Amino acid sequence: MQNLEEYKGVFVFAQQLDNEVSGIAYELLGKAKDLAAPLGAQVTAVLIGSGVEDQCDKLAEYGADRVILVDDPELKEYRTEPYAHALSSVINEFKPEIVLVGATAIGRDLGPTVSARVATGLTADCTVLEIGDFPLVAIPGKEAEQKHNQLLMTRPAFGGNTIATIACPNNRPQMATVRPGVMQKIDPIKGAKAEVVKYNPGFTPNNRYVSIKEVVKAVNDVADIMDAKILVSGGRGVGSAENFKILEDLAAVLGGTVSCSRAVVDSGWKPKELQVGQTGKTVRPNVYFAIGISGAIQHVAGMEESDIIVAINKDEDAPIFDVADYGVVGDLNKIVPQLTEAIKAQIAAK
């Protein structure tokens, strides 16, 4: 049986790629600070890699009180085994109360492996993390059994159709993978320093070590609108194939992709691959801009599950406004280019 009291502190797996800490690590540090406050705990970043010591200061600037550095030549590229050994050894040695890992293609491999190795629970893809009680409301007559200062992890499931809040009351650490882009990093504190603890559990290759034969960094090829996180979609109201330029510009500043309605494909302005709707593709981006799209039911069927729908249309009665979270009645030719500039300015200011 674990002595749960032994486990202290909020740890963050500071993912790095090519010896550069990933943005998700800073987001996790931001959240870790929030969680550490009510617990009166320290925020520790666990940095794993080869020749990554120079990254420690950045972690400090983003909120790490301490950095545990596991630096070894075996850790050059991400591989499940040496990384899982590194992180689980750190957990066994330093006994954190909470461990946060980014829900990236690395974290969603490392997290489950490590949680199984240290025999604790793991909640995937969390979007909200809070400190609270479990059960949320004490069972009458069993008030004493309610546990306080628990990590409450909220996550969507079922393709975002349901949400659940999960706790891990009887095992430590409490582990979560966290969806990128959800938590807020803090404004970096220039010159901040963290205590750096070097720790190497030793790496002896065994059958579980895989060998990497080739590393190929991706070049973005043809955009698949079903994978896009942000879609800037145009309809007949855009007016012409040439005028899609203003949508492409908007998509570019947001890192999104352009899609369209059926009318646009029928007019020959865009290829069928970009069509959203019943006879096109069903999409579920985080943000869907419906620009000059009236919102025929056939179109709506293909995009209504989007997290956020922003509609711009000059027709106040367009049915697209029945599903839009944010509907703007106005002239897209004026609004869209200005919107692109405004977003560009805001991103530059950050």
Using CB under 8 A as the binding rule, the residues of this chain from 281 to 300 that contact another protein are 282, 286-287, 297-298
CA distance 48 to 34: 23
Residue closer to another protein (CB basis): 52 or 194: 52
Residue closer to another protein (CB basis): 119 or 241: 119
CA distance 343 to 141: 55
According to DSSP, the residues that pair with 329 across neighbouring strands are 313
- Number of residues engaging another protein in binding (CB under 8 A): 93
157 binds another protein (CB under 8 A): yes
Maximum CA extent, the chain: 70
Residue closer to another protein (CB basis): 203 or 209: 209
Q: In the set 26, 62, 134, 244, which binds another protein (CB under 8 A)?
A: 134
Stretch that binds another protein, among 3-11, 35-43, 195-203, 310-318 (CB under 8 A): 310-318
169 binds another protein (CB under 8 A): yes
212 binds another protein (CB under 8 A): yes
Least distance between another protein and beta carbon 244 (Å)? 19
Footprint on residues 53-92 left by another protein (CB under 8 A):
77-81, 84
Closest CA relative to residue 41, chosen from 33, 30, 29: 33
Q: In the set 143, 148, 211, 348, which binds another protein (CB under 8 A)?
A: 211
Report the run of H or E that residue 84 belongs to, with start and end.
helix 80-94
Residue closer to another protein (CB basis): 25 or 324: 324
Q: How far is CA 317 from CA 3, 122, 287, 313, in A?
A: 63, 47, 22, 9
CA distance 8 to 26: 21
Residue closer to another protein (CB basis): 42 or 267: 267
Q: How large is the C-alpha radius of gyration of the chain? A: 24
Footprint on residues 30-49 left by another protein (CB under 8 A):
none
Tell me the CB-side half-sphere exposure of residue 161, using CA atoms within 13 A: 4
Residue 181 falls in which region: left (phi positive, over 0), alpha (psi -120 to 50) or beta: left
Footprint on residues 225-264 left by another protein (CB under 8 A):
230, 254
204 binds another protein (CB under 8 A): no
Residue 270 DSSP label: S
Least distance between another protein and beta carbon 161 (Å)? 5
